[in-house]
Structure 1
Amino acid sequence: MRALFSQLLDLLYPPKCVFCRRLLRPEEHDVCARCVHELEPIPAPLRRGQFYTECYAVYPYEGVVAESLRRFKFSGQSQYAAAYGRMLAPLLRTAPFEILSWVPVSAKRRRSRGYDQTELLAHAVAKELELPCTQTLQKIRHNPAQSSQRDAAARRANVLGAYRAVSPERFAGRSVLLIDDILTTGATLSECSRVLLTAGASSVVCAALAATPEPGQKPADR
């Protein structure tokens, strides 16, 4: 019955590539063959910002990847979380962490969007890794979007004091993996990591679906 229902859904809503939105062929899953061929994964964990050891990311935040994430965050495409989770989870199977968590959005943004996209992504990753997903942070100040800040210093100031630890006894003395959607300067992940370390976490590693290219790095051709 479940298989039949899935087939009916595919007829009514044919699956599309989460990046370029082309219709997927029967042998393709989540991402079309063209995007698989043209997108260049980030080869190694990144180190931007402070207080966390490294950040795992799948793709550069540019082109169709950036367009896809904007649809995920701002256009109601919450179903992308499952596909993103399947992309991100393989990078984390050997990562050094004990608690899987996420960088939360403010209550105001959650009400506006109808969901917290990073929480959805974290739960999707947790499902793939067959691990629990634990809330460790709450956003207590609705600050302007980081994308509106002019430089790295402004981004750091913008998130200072915006988060607090939730139930520190859950992670005290343990290593935490923080999931976010996009890594830019690392300001948000740095502030979240600082809060967790201050509350008792032993260490913090981070993961995001995408990371902005380093300054001077040439965008991938499309």
Structure 2
Amino acid sequence: MCVYDVCALHLLLVVLVVAAMSFGRNVLMVVTHIVSVLISLLLLTNMIYQIDFFKHDEYNVNCTDTHLVPSPPEERPLNDADWVGLQKTSKSRTLPDLLKGYIGLIVLATILAVVDIRQMYRRHMDGACLMRPTVIFPQIQRVHTDDNIKSCLMFLFNYGFYKFGVEVSLVMTVILIGSRMDVYAVLYGLWLCILFALKRETIARVWGFFQLFIIIVIPIQYAMAVGLPPGLCIGEL
């Protein structure tokens, strides 16, 4: 949603999601609740903005009188409300089209909460430990992988990323570099060379710095895509 609808309001969501993906499940669940609240507020804000009291054209920006930046040849004028993330409905874009991303995320968050509560309830009724299992198939261990293909696949579902996480991450980094082909690709390429040359023990010690790099770079990229408010008439970042 944030990728297909780039705006200032979504920058906070990007920062929260990127940070949450780099920490444990407890932090991830807290951020999930925070993001759910923010998305609900954004949904209500966009619905309130549809009231006729708010005139979208009043936020149009005309930079033709300034010598700082020429007016871009765009089909529609620059608008501060568009930059923030508030848009009016039209014949080509109805209210469901504007809100479907928010609604979809709220539905996913609701399903996640229902599944968690249901699983905890079942574990409580069965007298099992209320803690979430750390693997999908607790009964499958390394000794079972040679029994048959099914057991081997179940073991990979349990520990596949634990065994091959570094290799998968490096492959995805290569794909990212090939798809971007910009200055950020160069930075990722430097990290790829460093990680590829290190031993696994050393990678474990520097992996946190690689995560910190990603946490910093992704929000910066999104902020540059959002740019400065059009009303400043000083061009893009």
Same fold (TM over 0.5): no
Q: Which structure has more strand as a fraction of its residues?
A: 1
Task: State the TM-score, normalizing by the size of structure 1.
Answer: 0.22
Q: Which structure has more helix as a fraction of its residues?
A: 2
Rg larger in structure: 2
